[in-house]
Amino acid sequence: MAASGFPTSGSGPMLPLPKPPSRSQSFQRTPSRRVYFAETPSKHDTCRDTTHEDSLGTLPRHHCTDWEYDGGPKKCSGCGLCCACASLIAGCIVLILVLFGALSYSFVQGSMPDFRIRSFNITRLEVSPKDKPTTLTADVHFVINATNKYHRFELSYGTLNVDVSAGKINLGHTEVAPFKQSGVNVRELDLKVGVKDMAVDSGDALALKSDREEKNMVINVVFKGSISFNFEGHQLKDMPLSVLCHNVEQSDVYNGLRPLCHVRIFNFL
């Protein structure tokens, strides 16, 4: 075969060589992925940086102390444990006292006597003439039954102060002498009060006089004093006593009803 312009080998013709890269291509590189590793700062470094920020006059975002990084939760100190136990014991004592007081109050309140108004009447009622300053003269008679309902209790009453009123008009004051009352016993309190030439509002006096004529009076009777309980040799002495007979209507008493009064050992309960 005739010779050609390409070199040959024993096995055949040789392949052409690649063209050398141009000047512009020699400066181009294939982009590659790069991986960066950032080291997480330790808590100590964070605290150190924060301290450095403090030295520069800026406010730190976090405040680090030595006990925050001791490697585990702090244990309760002996003093704190003692305080917790003392608080728990004090709370239990207060709760027991409150329960005991509530039970005692319920027991005593349930053992109080009954007071009922059996009768009342204004035996005298005089209002001064209209041409003079209005004054009132009145006498009131009423009977109240005090009942000890329990056979195991003996009751002892101190001096009882009694005030009677009708609306805004005071009708008099009296006292009941101390007395004792055995179990399942009724004590009749026959009381009289009155006022003489007492200055009153003319409108109130005339209204009271009209109500008396129509048997439509409404009165209030209040007892205040003390009471003692004797229960099988055990005594509870000088408990404050209030007996409130409010808005007692004369018509109810005349019709045979016996209005019940409210008996309390404390005024605020």
CA distance 115 to 215: 23
Please report the pLDDT score of residue 4 as a whole number: 47
CA distance 112 to 240: 12
Q: Give the domain CATH number at 209.
A: 2.60.40
Q: How many domains does the chain have?
A: 1
49-64, pLDDT tens digit by residue?
Answer: 444 444 444 444 444 4
Name 119's bridge partners: 143
pLDDT in tens, 217-265: 999 999 999 999 998 888 888 999 999 999 999 999 999 999 999 999 8
The domain in which residue 124 lies consists of 114-264
In which band, very low, low, confident or very high, does the pLDDT at 76 lie, cut at 50, 70 and 90? low
Rg of the chain on CA atoms, in Å? 51
Residue ranges in the chain assigned as alpha helix (H):
43-55, 78-110, 202-213, 250-254
Q: Is residue 48 part of a domain?
A: no
| 216 has pLDDT over 60 | yes
Nearest to residue 47, comparing CAs of 22, 65, 71, 33? 65
For the cut 60, the answer to whether the pLDDT of residue 125 exceeds it is yes
Q: For the chain, what is the mean pLDDT?
A: 78
Confidence of residue 98 (pLDDT cuts 50, 70, 90): confident
User: Is residue 74 in some structural domain?
Assistant: no
Which residues, 6+ apart, have CB-to-CB distance to 25 below 8 Å? none
- Report yes or no on 6 lying in a domain: no
How many C-beta atoms lie closer than 10 Å to residue 261's C-beta?
20
The pLDDT score that the predictor gives to residue 235 is 86
Residue whose C-alpha is closest to residue 164's, from 204, 222, 209, 91 = 222
Q: Smallest Cα–Cα separation from 164: which of 210, 202, 201, 120?
A: 120
Specify if 166 maps to a domain.
yes
Decide if 26 is inside a domain: no
